[in-house]
Amino acid sequence: MASSMIFTDCSSSTASPLIHFNRRSSNTFLLRQCVGQLRLRTTTAPGRGCSLSIRCSSSPNPSNSDSEALAKVIDGKAVAKTVRDEITIEVSRMKESIGVVPGLAVVLVGDRKDSATYVRNKKKACESVGIKSFEVRLGEDSSEEEVLKSVLSFNDDPSVHGILVQLPLPSHMDEQNILNAVSIEKDVDGFHPLNIGRLAMRGREPLFVPCTPKGCIELLHRYNIEIKGKTAVVIGRSNIVGMPAALLLQREDATVTIIHSRTKNPEEITREADIIISAVGQPNMVRGSWIKPGAVLIDVGINPVEDLSAPRGYRLVGDICYEEACKVASAITPVPGGVGPMTIAMLLSNTLTSAKRIHNFQ
Amino acid sequence: MASSMIFTDCSSSTASPLIHFNRRSSNTFLLRQCVGQLRLRTTTAPGRGCSLSIRCSSSPNPSNSDSEALAKVIDGKAVAKTVRDEITIEVSRMKESIGVVPGLAVVLVGDRKDSATYVRNKKKACESVGIKSFEVRLGEDSSEEEVLKSVLSFNDDPSVHGILVQLPLPSHMDEQNILNAVSIEKDVDGFHPLNIGRLAMRGREPLFVPCTPKGCIELLHRYNIEIKGKTAVVIGRSNIVGMPAALLLQREDATVTIIHSRTKNPEEITREADIIISAVGQPNMVRGSWIKPGAVLIDVGINPVEDLSAPRGYRLVGDICYEEACKVASAITPVPGGVGPMTIAMLLSNTLTSAKRIHNFQ
Q: DSSP for B117-185?
A: HHHHHHHHHHHHHT-EEEEEEE-TT--HHHHHHHHHHHHH-TT--EEEE-SPPPTTS-HHHHHHHS-GG
Q: How long a stretch of residues is chain B?
A: 362
* Interface contact B193-A202, CB threshold 8 A: no
Q: Say if CB A80 and CB A345 are below 8 A apart.
A: yes
Of B27, B195, B256, the CB nearest to A258: B256
Of B27, B197, B202, the CB nearest to A194: B197
Cα–Cα dist A193/A83, whole Å: 27
> In terms of CA atoms, which chain A residue is nearest residue B197?
A197
Of A243-252, A264-273, A326-335, B171-180, least confident by mean pLDDT is B171-180
Q: Give residue A7's pLDDT.
A: 29
Cα–Cα dist B161/A329, whole Å: 54
C-alpha distance from A354 to closest chain B C-alpha (Å): 20
Q: Which sign, positive or negative, has the C-alpha torsion B23, B29, B33, B39?
A: positive
* Interface contact A202-B247, CB threshold 8 A: no
Of A113-122, B66-75, B225-234, B327-336, least confident by mean pLDDT is B66-75
Interface test with B, best of A32, A34, A191, A202 (most B CBs within 10 A): A202
Taking only Cα atoms into account, the Rg of chain A, rounded to an integer number of angstroms, comes to 20
> In terms of CA atoms, which chain B residue is nearest residue A37?
B229
C-alpha distance from B201 to closest chain A C-alpha (Å): 6
CB-based contact (8 Å) between B287 and chain A? Answer: no
B120-137 pLDDT, tens digit per residue, is 999 999 999 999 999 999
* Interface contact A255-B269, CB threshold 8 A: yes
Q: Which residues of B are catalytic?
A: 122, 166, 189
Q: Give domain status of residue A300, yes or no.
A: yes
Pairing of strands A303-306, A314-317: antiparallel
Higher pLDDT, A300 or A47: A300
* Interface contact B243-A201, CB threshold 8 A: yes
Q: Give residue A69's pLDDT.
A: 73
Q: Which residues of A are catalytic?
A: 122, 166, 189
Tell me how far the alpha carbon of residue A361 is from its chain's centroid: 27
Q: Give residue A70's pLDDT.
A: 87
pLDDT above 70 (res A223): yes
Q: Give residue B326's pLDDT.
A: 96
CB-based contact (8 Å) between B177 and chain A? Answer: no
B41-84 pLDDT, tens digit per residue, is 454 443 333 444 344 444 444 444 445 778 999 999 999 999 99
Q: Give domain status of residue B142, yes or no.
A: no
Q: What is the dihedral of CA A29, A34, A36, A37, to 10 degrees?
A: 140
Q: Give residue A67's pLDDT.
A: 53
* Interface contact B247-A200, CB threshold 8 A: yes
Q: What percent of chain A has pLDDT over 90?
A: 78
> In terms of CA atoms, which chain B residue is nearest residue A30?
B202
* Interface contact A197-B192, CB threshold 8 A: yes
Cα–Cα dist B224/B217, whole Å: 11
Instruction: Give the N- to C-terminal CA distance of chain A in Å, as an integer.
Output: 30
pLDDT above 90 (res B329): yes
CB proximity list for A87: less than 8 A, separation 6 or greater: A129, A131, A345, A348, A349, A352
B80-128 pLDDT, tens digit per residue, is 999 999 999 999 999 999 999 999 999 999 999 999 998 999 999 999 9
Q: In this structure, what are the phi and psi dihedrals at residue A49, rounded to the nearest 5 degrees?
A: 60, -150
Q: What percent of chain B has pLDDT over 70?
A: 81
* Interface contact A228-B253, CB threshold 8 A: no
Interface of A with B in 190-209 (CB under 8 A): 192-204
Q: Give domain status of residue A198, yes or no.
A: no
CA atoms within 13 A on the CB side of A281: 25
Of B193, B247, B253, the CB nearest to A262: B253
Cα–Cα dist B184/B207, whole Å: 8
Q: pLDDT band at A109, cuts 50/70/90?
A: very high
C-alpha distance from A74 to closest chain B C-alpha (Å): 26
Cα–Cα dist B64/A356, whole Å: 65
* Interface contact B197-A202, CB threshold 8 A: no
Question: What value does the mean pLDDT take over residues A200-212?
Answer: 96
Chain A residue numbers with beta carbons less than 8 Å from the beta carbon of B27 are 202-203
Q: Give residue A56's pLDDT.
A: 43
Interface test with A, best of B41, B199, B201 (most A CBs within 10 A): B201
C-alpha distance from B198 to closest chain A C-alpha (Å): 6
Of B199, B229, B269, the CB nearest to A264: B229
Question: What value does the mean pLDDT take over residues B144-164?
Answer: 97
Higher pLDDT, A347 or B41: A347
* Interface contact B229-A262, CB threshold 8 A: yes
Q: pLDDT band at A31, cuts 50/70/90?
A: very low
Q: Give domain status of residue A220, yes or no.
A: yes
DSSP A286: B
Chain B residue numbers with beta carbons less than 8 Å from the beta carbon of A213 are none
C-alpha distance from A310 to closest chain B C-alpha (Å): 37
Q: Give domain status of residue A9, yes or no.
A: yes
Chain B residue numbers with beta carbons less than 8 Å from the beta carbon of A201 are 193, 196, 239, 243
Q: Give residue A6's pLDDT.
A: 30
Q: Give domain status of residue B151, yes or no.
A: no
CB atoms within 10 A of CB B85: 12
Interface test with A, best of B262, B270, B274, B280 (most A CBs within 10 A): B262
Q: Give residue B67's pLDDT.
A: 53
Of B256, B262, B264, the CB nearest to A257: B256
Q: What mean pLDDT is reported for chain B?
A: 85
Q: How many domains, chain A?
A: 1
* Interface contact B243-A200, CB threshold 8 A: yes
Say if residue A168 is preceded by a cis peptide, omega within 30 of 0: yes
Question: What value does the mean pLDDT take over residues A326-348?
Answer: 97
Cα–Cα dist A174/A169, whole Å: 8
* Interface contact B262-A228, CB threshold 8 A: yes
Interface test with B, best of A198, A257, A265, A275 (most B CBs within 10 A): A257
- Structural domain that includes position B21: 2-78+210-343
Chain A residue numbers with beta carbons less than 8 Å from the beta carbon of B259 are 255
Helix, strand, coil % in chain A, rounded to nearest 5: 45, 15, 45
Cα–Cα dist A334/A340, whole Å: 9
The domain spanning residue A6 has which CATH number?
3.40.50.720
Interface of B with A in 250-279 (CB under 8 A): 250, 253-260, 262-264, 269
Q: What mean pLDDT is reported for chain A?
A: 85
* Interface contact A260-B253, CB threshold 8 A: yes
C-alpha distance from B277 to closest chain A C-alpha (Å): 15
Chain B residue numbers with beta carbons less than 8 Å from the beta carbon of A231 are 264, 269
Q: Give residue A272's pLDDT.
A: 97
* Interface contact B239-A202, CB threshold 8 A: yes
Of B196, B204, B259, the CB nearest to A201: B196
CB-based contact (8 Å) between A40 and chain B? Answer: no
Q: pLDDT band at A176, cuts 50/70/90?
A: confident
> In terms of CA atoms, which chain A residue is nearest residue B249?
A258
Q: Say if CB B351 and CB B162 are below 8 A apart.
A: yes
Tell me how far the alpha carbon of residue B349 is from its chain's centroid: 14
Q: Give domain status of residue A106, yes or no.
A: no
Tell me how far the alpha carbon of residue A184 is from its chain's centroid: 20
Question: What value does the mean pLDDT take over residues B288-309?
Answer: 97
C-alpha distance from B68 to closest chain A C-alpha (Å): 31
Q: Give domain status of residue B361, yes or no.
A: no
Tell me how far the alpha carbon of residue B128 is from its chain's centroid: 20
CB burial of residue A360 (10 Å; 0-12, 13-18, 19+): exposed
